[in-house]
Amino acid sequence: MPEPTPTPGETKARRRAGRPMAAVLDQDGITAAALELISKKGYDGLTMAALARSLGVAPSALYNHVSSKDEVLKLVEEDLMSKVDFGGFSTLPWEEAVRQWAYSYRGIFARHTPLISVIAVLPVTDAPQTLAMYEAVTEGFLRAGFPEQQIIPSIVALEAYIFGAAFDANAPADIFDSGRLADSTPHFTSAVRSLGPERNNYPSDLAFSMGLDALITGLGALRV
Amino acid sequence: MPEPTPTPGETKARRRAGRPMAAVLDQDGITAAALELISKKGYDGLTMAALARSLGVAPSALYNHVSSKDEVLKLVEEDLMSKVDFGGFSTLPWEEAVRQWAYSYRGIFARHTPLISVIAVLPVTDAPQTLAMYEAVTEGFLRAGFPEQQIIPSIVALEAYIFGAAFDANAPADIFDSGRLADSTPHFTSAVRSLGPERNNYPSDLAFSMGLDALITGLGALRV
DNA sequence: TGAGATAAATGAACGTCATTCATTTATTGG
DNA sequence: CCAATAAATGAATGACGTTCATTTATCTCA
C-alpha cells in the first residue's frame, strides 16, 4: 500500500512540515452554507459564486476544499441522508417502520429533487450516512423475516417509488387540468373531477399513501 | 375574447398580409433534430448551438420557433410520450396492460431521465400525447372496475414508481459496493453479496419487476 | 530567529451556455 | 413594385463553472 488510496470525494490533508494559512473554509462549513442557500434561494440560487459570497470568500477559494460543484451536491446529499428517519426499523413492526421511513425520506427529498438524479446513480461507497441508513433498513427487513436475496431488490423498489413521489410532491395543483382538450379525454377529465368539486385537486399525498400501502402489502408477502 | 389566447408552448402564426421568408425550421424538425442529437451525444450534447448546427442554422434562428430551451425539452417529452405503449388497456386484462405500459414507459424514459424533472411537474394542458395516454389508461382502469376516485391516485402512484425506476435503470452495477466501510454495514453488505457471487449485481430489473407486481396486486385490490 | 515549506485565498482570466436584438433577407399580397 | 411580414443572421450580453499564477498566512525545522 504505497498510498492510503485517497477517497474521490476527499480533499488533501498531508502531514509534513510547515502549516498553512488559517483555514476559513472546510467541507462542513461549505455544506451548511449550501443548505442554507438552497433553503433561501432554491437550487437555482446555488451557484459557486453565491456560495462563496455567503461564506465571505472568493469563488475560487472553494476549490481548495471541493473539487467541483458536483461534490458540493454530494456533500449536501449525505447531510440530508443523515436526517432521514429510519429509527422505526429497530422499534416498530416492519410495516410501520417502512411507512415512517418512506414518509420521512420523501418529505426531505421533495424539497431537494435536483439531487435525486445525482443520488439515484451515486455509488454508496464512502457515503457513510447513506450506508448507515441501508444497514438499518436491511436489519429491519431481516428481523421481519425477509429472505436475504429479496431485501436489496425490495429496498430498491421502495426507493424508486419514494424518489418518484418526491417529484410528484412538487407538482402544481392544476397539473391535470386538461384545458381545451377536455372534450377529447372525457374519462380522464371526469376522473380528475371526481376527486373534488373544483379543479386544483392534485392528489399527491393520497397517491403516495395508496401506492405505499400497495408496496408494503405486496413486498411484505415475500416474508417467509 | 379579444385574442384566441395563444398557448404558451405555441409560437406565432398570424394571418394578415405579405408572407414571410421560406421557413427552413419548424417545431417538428427541431424536435426530430433534438432527439437525434440526444441519442448521439446525450443530454449534455443538447445545446442550442449544437441543435442549430445540426439544422444548418444560426442558434438565434431557433428562437423564432421556440421560446426557450425548456420548450425544446417539452417538445421532446411530448414526442416520447407518443411512443409509450398503452395499447394493452384496450385488449389485455388489466394486470397485463399495466405491466406492458409500465415496462414501455420505464424503458423509454430510462434514456431520458433529465426530462423526468420536467415531466413530473408539467401541466398536461395542451400536451395532447400525454393526455391521450392518460385517457387510455383511465379507460382501462374503468373497464377493470376501479371506482372513479381511485383512478387518478393509482395512476399517479404508478407513474411515480416508473419515474423512480427509470433513474435506477441507469445506476452503475457497483452502486452498492460498500468499499472499505463494509465492516460497519455487515447485514447490508451480506444482503448485497447474496445477490450473486461477485459484486456488480445491481438488481434494477429484478427490483422493478418485484415492485411492479406489488403495486399491481395492491392497487388491483381497490377494484369493486 | 529566521528560512523554507505548505496550503489557503485571491483576482483575473477562459470557455461554454442560453438568450436578446438590431439588421438583413426572402416572400407575398395589394 | 411597394409595403408588410416573418425568418434568419451575427454580434453582443450576462451567467456560470472552473483554472491558474500569484500572494498571504502559518507552522516546522535548522
**CATH number for B41:** 1.10.10.60
Q: Which domain holds residue A198?
A: 82-220
- Looking at the structure, do residues A112 and A27 belong to the same domain, yes or no? no
In-domain check, residue A74? no
What type of residue sits at position A69? K
- Looking at the structure, do residues B102 and B204 belong to the same domain, yes or no? yes
Whether residue A12 is predicted with pLDDT greater than 90 in this model: the reply is no
Using a 10 angstrom Cβ sphere, with 0-12 exposed, 13-18 middle and 19 or more buried, the burial of residue A15 is exposed
- Looking at the structure, do residues A131 and A181 belong to the same domain, yes or no? yes
- Looking at the structure, do residues A23 and A127 belong to the same domain, yes or no? no
Whether residue B81 is predicted with pLDDT greater than 60 in this model: the reply is yes
- Looking at the structure, do residues A109 and A213 belong to the same domain, yes or no? yes
For residue B163, the domain's CATH number is 1.10.357.10
Q: Is A174 on the interface with B (CB under 8 A)?
A: yes
What is the per-residue pLDDT for A131?
97
Whether residue A66 is predicted with pLDDT greater than 50 in this model: the reply is yes
In-domain check, residue A76? no
In this prediction, residue B13 has a pLDDT band, given cuts at 50, 70 and 90, of very low
CB pair distance less than 8 Å for A113 and B117? yes
What is the per-residue pLDDT for B33?
98
- Looking at the structure, do residues A61 and A109 belong to the same domain, yes or no? no
Contacts of A164 in chain B (CB under 8 A): 120, 159-165
In this prediction, residue A44 has a pLDDT band, given cuts at 50, 70 and 90, of very high
**Of residues A128, A156, A170, nearest to B168 (C-beta):** A156
**Of residues B142, B181, B211, nearest to A215 (C-beta):** B211
In-domain check, residue A12? yes
Average pLDDT (A123-139) is: 96
For residue B45, what is its C-alpha cell?
Answer: 450534447
Looking at CA atoms only, how far is residue A127 from chain B in angstroms?
Answer: 8
Average pLDDT (B10-37) is: 74
- Tens of pLDDT, residues B109-155: 999 999 999 998 899 998 999 999 999 999 999 999 999 999 999 99
- CB of A44 nearer than 7 A to strand C: no
- CB of A20 nearer than 7 A to strand D: yes
Give chain B as a DSSP string: --S----TT------SSS--SPP---HHHHHHHHHHHHHHHTTTS--HHHHHHHTTS-HHHHTTT-SSHHHHHHHHHHHHHTTS--GGGGTS-HHHHHHHHHHHHHHHHHTTHHHHHHHTT---TT-HHHHHHHHHHHHHHHHTT--HHHHHHHHHHHHHHHHHHHHHTTS-TTTT--GGGGGG-HHHHHHHHTT-SSS----HHHHHHHHHHHHHHHHHTT--
Which bases of chain D come closer than 7 Å to a protein CB?
3-11, 15-21, 24-29
Which of B60, B79, B98 is the C-terminal boundary of a domain?
Answer: B79
- CB of A14 nearer than 7 A to strand D: no
- Looking at the structure, do residues B116 and B207 belong to the same domain, yes or no? yes
CA separation for the pair A171, A182 (Å, rounded): 20
In-domain check, residue A198? yes
Which of B79, B104, B139 is the C-terminal boundary of a domain?
Answer: B79
Which of B36, B55, B79 is the C-terminal boundary of a domain?
Answer: B79
What type of residue sits at position B51? L
- Looking at the structure, do residues A104 and A210 belong to the same domain, yes or no? yes
For residue B79, what is its C-alpha cell?
Answer: 414526442
For residue B1, what is its C-alpha cell?
Answer: 375574447
CA of A44 to C1' of C12 (A): 26
- Looking at the structure, do residues B39 and B117 belong to the same domain, yes or no? no
- CB of B120 nearer than 7 A to strand D: no
What's the total number of domains in chain B?
2
In sequence order, the 6+-apart residues with CB closer than 8 A to the CB of B112 are B38, B43, B76, B77, B80, B166
- Looking at the structure, do residues A174 and A200 belong to the same domain, yes or no? yes
- Looking at the structure, do residues B41 and B88 belong to the same domain, yes or no? no
For residue B27, what is its C-alpha cell?
Answer: 417545431
CA separation for the pair A85, A162 (Å, rounded): 14
Q: Is B28 on the interface with A (CB under 8 A)?
A: no
CB pair distance less than 8 Å for B207 and A154? yes
In-domain check, residue A135? yes
- CB of A224 nearer than 7 A to strand C: no
Average pLDDT (B179-207) is: 88
DSSP A23: P
CB pair distance less than 8 Å for A211 and B219? yes
